[in-house]
Amino acid sequence: MAPKRKRTSPATSYQVFLSFRGPDTRQGFTDVLYHALVDAGIRVFRDNEEIRKGEYIGDEILRAIEDSRIFVPIFSSTYASSKWCLIELAKMVESKEGSSGSKRILPIFYDVSVDDVKLKTELYTKALSIHREKFSTDIVHQWEEALREAGKIKGWELKDKGHAEFAKAFVRKVSVELKVNKQYVTRSLVERIDEQDALISLLHLKSSHDVRLVWIHGMGGIGKTTLAKAVFNRLCDHFGGCCFLLDVLETTKRKGIDHLQRQLLQDLGVKSADISDENDGIQIISTQLQDRKVLVVLDDVHDQEQIGKLAGEAGWFGKGSRIIITSRNKNVPVFEGGRVEILEAESMKFEESLLLFSRHAFGKENPPEDFRGLSEKVVRITGGLPLSLEVVGSQLRTSYEHRDRVHWNHIIGSLQKIPARKVQDRLKISYDALDCEAKKIFLDIACFFINEEKTKAIYMWQSCGFKPYLAVKELVDASLIKLADDKKFSMHDQLRDLGRKIVCDERLKDLGKPCSRIWMHEDALKVVREEEGTNLYLKNLVVLDLSESSISETWTGWRHIRMCKELKVLDLKRCNHLTKMPEVAQSWRD
């Protein structure tokens, strides 16, 4: 049987809290706004203040305010006449002030002016005078301060706008405020809720006065990145800014640590154009995020040096911030001023492994009875490694559809001959089963196109006479690559390393043969400059990616661009030393 999933409530129940006076707006404007927000997929708390009893705000309201990131007080003519509205407003202001910038108040002035809310007219001051007869001076003063504070915030005036028109524009604003780039996870994911909850427990979110780092370590392919993505997606609404940096080790090698510094700052809403080198990046990160409560994930980190340039000290971030790092390295980093927790990623349990394998091999939760024994053999051989289960399961799916038990036994026999620690050798069985065109495209993605949009690659493959859409589908079906949102290629680092090893091994077999693929910027620039020892024919070049390089308009390599008759893509993003487009590039563009 498939393992039962433990159901837990999400870390954040609500994103938006509506505070309004029922008799004024419930049946009209507020109802329209509420449904517009909900229809946009936003989780909204809408309370009925008219049916409350007692003198104190309930736990449900307090939890909703604590959970929400955006507060929307709808100021109407009798808003200040309701003690419940004023209690909510005071709690919202208090929650915002203690959120380190992660929460916002977006006031709506329904049929009142900003001056009414700032208590510069008699409309709300009369209502507060009545409250003074029933409540203490301190309480009424707190309400007055909350109103004045809300009045200082640039809000939205309804004026003569129609309710539906206003709601549409307001929903767009809220959606932008809530926007977080959640991480892609495969639909066949087995939610290991217990493991996610263990990580969340170590993050200790209730402790809002410190900065914590959780170090997740374990062998490649065990599911560290998937765990970090799942928790990131659950918690990102909890913070004022979120950033997930994938493949830190690989990106540092290819593009430099300053590229990651820019991405970190951009994702957290800080201008990063001034970064000219990694020292600039350290300076900006360490000074511009000190008052921000953020969630940062650094994936596949290799050493302390990388951490030191991205999240070197707790003091770089605001109180309540959390840093998650995944690594194959057991050595725990120094995190000055903060607390470090350690989580060792574990292999999947047998039942979880069988579920994941079944989803890929059979497209359902459990193996058919006539293939159960063979399925359990595969699960035991792969040792609970999610990557191996996905790839092997996908490879066997076609054989199952033809009820080809002979092929199943052949693959199982091949897996048994390879030691468990040699994960790449086991994965190569699936690579060897690809047709020639799919193999070439797999190697291209491994070397060039991980975390890149597919457009450049499709141009290149079509110019080679390939049928890329069919080959990409074959690779996706084989679980050798993933296509996030049908746009960006992603690939597990074990598969990436396998692809690059195959390319290097091809060259070692024939030392006189030039390398078929060059994926490091420095090596590629050297080839373009020197044209030595390579099979690079510039007249056939289709895609030239020079992004984030140090080239300038005086670079001697520009003369070679004239030879690129088939060039369709020239990528010059973030070439900071390039102050104007060279004439040859302008003529090519025209």
Using pLDDT thresholds of 50, 70 and 90, give the confidence band for residue 12.
very low
In the annotation, is 88 catalytic?
A: yes
Q: How many of the other CB atoms lie within 10 Å of CB of 5?
A: 12
Of 470, 499, 528, which one is at a domain's C-terminal end? 499
> Taking every pair of C-alpha atoms in the chain, what is the biggest distance, in angstroms?
95
Is 187 a member of any domain? no
Instruction: With a cut of 70, say whether residue 3 has pLDDT above it.
Output: no
Joined tokens for residue 3? 């393992």
Does one domain contain both 201 and 327?
A: yes
Q: What is the pLDDT of residues 546-567, one digit of tens each?
A: 777 778 887 877 777 777 777 7
pLDDT band at 160 (very low <50, low <70, confident <90, very high): confident
The reported pLDDT for the residue numbered 127 is: 94
Q: Is residue 203 part of a domain?
A: yes
Q: Is residue 390 part of a domain?
A: yes
- Residue-wise pLDDT for 391-449, tens only, equals 899 989 877 877 888 989 998 888 888 876 677 888 888 898 899 999 999 999 999 89
Of 293, 311, 344, which closes a domain? 344
At residue 8 the predicted structure's pLDDT band, cuts being 50, 70 and 90, is very low
Looking at the structure, tell me whether residues 23 and 161 fall in a common domain. yes
What's the predicted TM-score (pTM) here?
Answer: 0.61
10 is a domain residue: no
The answer to the question of residue 310 being in a domain is yes
Domain that holds residue 483: 434-499
- Looking at the structure, tell me whether residues 386 and 397 fall in a common domain: yes
Q: Is the dihedral of CA 550, 555, 556, 557 positive or negative?
A: positive
d(C-alpha 386, C-alpha 226), whole Å: 10
pLDDT confidence of residue 588: 54
- Phi/psi of residue 277, each to 5°? -155, 180
Domain stops at, among 395, 411, 432: 432
Q: Among 71-85, 113-127, 381-395, 511-525, name the one with the lowest average pLDDT.
A: 511-525
Model pLDDT, residue 535 = 52
Percent of the chain with pLDDT over 70: 88
* CA dist list (Å): 274 to 282, 316, 553, 554: 12, 18, 20, 22
Question: What is the tens place of the pLDDT at every residue in 311-346?
Answer: 999 999 999 999 999 998 888 888 999 999 999 998
CATH code for the domain of 281: 3.40.50.300
pLDDT, position 296: 96
Count of domains for the chain? 5
**What's the CA gap between 564 and 573, in Å, rounded?**
19
Tell me: pLDDT of 6 over 60: no
- What pLDDT does residue 52 have? 47
Per residue in 342-386, pLDDT (tens digit) is 999 988 889 999 999 999 999 888 999 999 999 999 999 888 788
- Shared domain check, 287 and 334: yes
Shortest CA distance to 111 belongs to which of 161, 145, 152? 161
**Distance between CA atoms of 413 and 407, rounded to whole angstroms?**
10
1 near 364, Cβ under 8 Å?
no
Q: Residue 10's pLDDT is what?
A: 39
What does the block give as tokens for 353?
Answer: 């492994």
Q: For residues 401 and 371, what is the distance between their CA atoms, to the nearest angstrom?
A: 11
Is 402 found in the same domain as 280? Answer: no
CATH of the domain at 85: 3.40.50.10140
Set 88, 149, 352, 390: catalytic member: 88
- Percentage of the chain with pLDDT > 90? 37
Tell me: do 324 and 366 sit in the same domain. Answer: no
| Same domain membership, residue 121 and residue 28 | yes
The residue to which tokens 């039962």 are assigned: 4
Would 567 be classed as within a structural domain?
Answer: yes
Tell me whether residue 438 is in a domain. Answer: yes
Q: How far apart are CA 531 and CA 512, in angstroms?
A: 15
Given this model, what pLDDT does residue 417 score?
Answer: 83
Mean pLDDT, rounded, of the chain: 84
pLDDT value at position 2?
37
CA distance 324 to 96: 25
Q: What is the pLDDT of residue 587?
A: 52
Pair of tokens at residue 148: 């004045």
What is residue 374's predicted lDDT score, i.e. its pLDDT? 93
Q: Are residues 210 and 318 in the same domain?
A: yes
- Residue 114 corresponds to which tokens in the numbers above? 């900003």
* Secondary element (H or E) of residue 488: strand 488-490
pLDDT value at residue 314: 94
Model confidence pLDDT, tens digit, residues 17-69: 999 998 888 778 999 999 999 888 788 998 754 444 444 556 778 888 888 88
| Position with higher pLDDT, 198 vs 478 | 198
Residues 483, 459, single domain; the answer is yes
- Non-local CB neighbours of 571 within 8 Å, separated by 6+ positions: 456, 543, 544, 545, 546, 547
Are residues 407 and 325 located together in one domain of the fold?
A: no
466 and 383 together in one domain: no
Contact (CB, 8 A) for 466 and 451: no
H helical segments located in 68-121: 83-97, 114-117
Residue 9 is assigned to a structural domain of this protein: no
Of 238 and 37, more confident: 37
Whose tokens are 């359990």? That residue is 376
Q: Are residues 375 and 395 in the same domain?
A: yes
